[in-house]
Amino acid sequence: MTLRIGDNIKALRAEKGATQEQLAEHLAITYQSISKWENGVTSPDLQLIPQIAEYFDVTIDQLFTQNISGYKNKAHRLCAIYEQSGRKEDYERADKECEQLFANGKPDGVDMRMYGILNEYHSYALAKKAEELFRQAIAAGNKSESQLMMLLSKTSRNDENIATWQEALKKDSDNVRNWQLLACAYEYANMPEKALKITEEGLGNFPDDSWLLNQCGNLYRTLKRYDEAIEFHEKAIAVAPNEGGSYYSLAFIYKDLGKNKEAIAAWERVVDFCVKRGLDIETRWPLIEIAKLKKLLE
C-alpha cells in the first residue's frame, strides 16, 4: 500500500481542528495547495516538511507513518515524541503541556497514566546521566563509589555491583576501601549475611577501621543480634570517638530492645557528641527522643 502523506496531513488537521486555510496561512502558501496534497494530486515540497511536522507536533518520521493514528490531545502527542526522541527539550515541552492540562482540571485516568509514563521514561534518562557523572567523578579521583552503587541498586543492577567490587577486592585486598564497597554491595542487594561475612573478613585485615566496625554493628542489628551489634558499635566509638554514626546506632538498638533507660543514656551521649563539636542545632532531635522516652518511664 502506497503512503500518501496527504492522508496523514488530512488526519492530523482534523485531529487538531484546523482548517485548510489555517494550515496554509501557517505555511505561507495557498489553501488550494493543501487541498491538492490531501487529494493526492501533489505532495508538499521537501522544505515544508519540517514546518508541517512542527505544526502538528509530530516528528518527521511520524509524518510519513502509514495510517498515522490520532492522539487524545496535544499532551499525548508530545509525550509520544519524547518517548521516540529521548531529548531533554522534548521532555520539557511534554511536561509543560501536561502541567497545563492538569492545571485546567480536565485530566482523566488516561491522561494521568500517560503523564506517569512520561516521567518514568525521563527517570531512566536521568539515572543514566547520573551514572555517567558518578563514573566520571570516580575517574577524577572523587569518592563517589557509594553513590554509584546505590544508583545501580535502585535500578536492579545488584549483580553488577557485587561483581565489580569482588573483582576490585581480588585485585587489591590491601585496600580497605574495596572491603567496604563489597560489603555495601551485598547490603544494597539485601544480603546482610554475606555483607557481614565480608565486613568481618575485612576487620581481620584492618581491625581498627571504624567504618568496618560500625558496619558490623549495623549488620548485626539488621540480623537482630543485638548484643554483638552493641559490642561492635562500642568498639567503633573507642577507635574513632569523633565519628557520630555508632552513637546514633546504639540509641536505635536500645529503642529496638525496648530498653528505655539505656536508650535515654545513648541519646544523651549523642547530645554530648554534638555539643562538643559545636553542632548544637543537631541536638534537637536527640532531645525530643529523650523527652519521649522519659514520658514512657513516668
Residues 167 and 274 in one domain: yes
Q: What CATH code is carried by the domain that includes residue 243? A: 1.25.40.10
Residue-wise pLDDT for 48-83, tens only, equals 999 998 888 777 887 888 767 667 777 888 898 888
Residue 55 shares a structural domain with residue 79: no
Q: What is the pLDDT of residues 212-251, one digit of tens each?
A: 999 999 999 999 999 999 999 999 999 999 999 999 999 9
Owning domain of residue 114: 72-142
20-39 average pLDDT score? 93
Q: Are residues 63 and 86 in the same domain?
A: no
Establish if 89 belongs to a structural domain. yes
Position 147 in a domain: no
Q: How confident is the model at residue 24 (pLDDT cuts 50, 70, 90)?
A: very high
pLDDT in tens, 125-181: 999 999 999 999 999 988 899 899 999 988 899 999 999 999 999 999 999 999 999
In a domain, 152, yes or no: no
Final residue belonging to a domain, choices 84, 116, 142:
142
- Residue 75: its pLDDT value, please? 87
Domain count, the chain: 3
How many whole angstroms separate alpha carbon 5 and alpha carbon 119?
32
pLDDT over threshold 50, residue 1: no
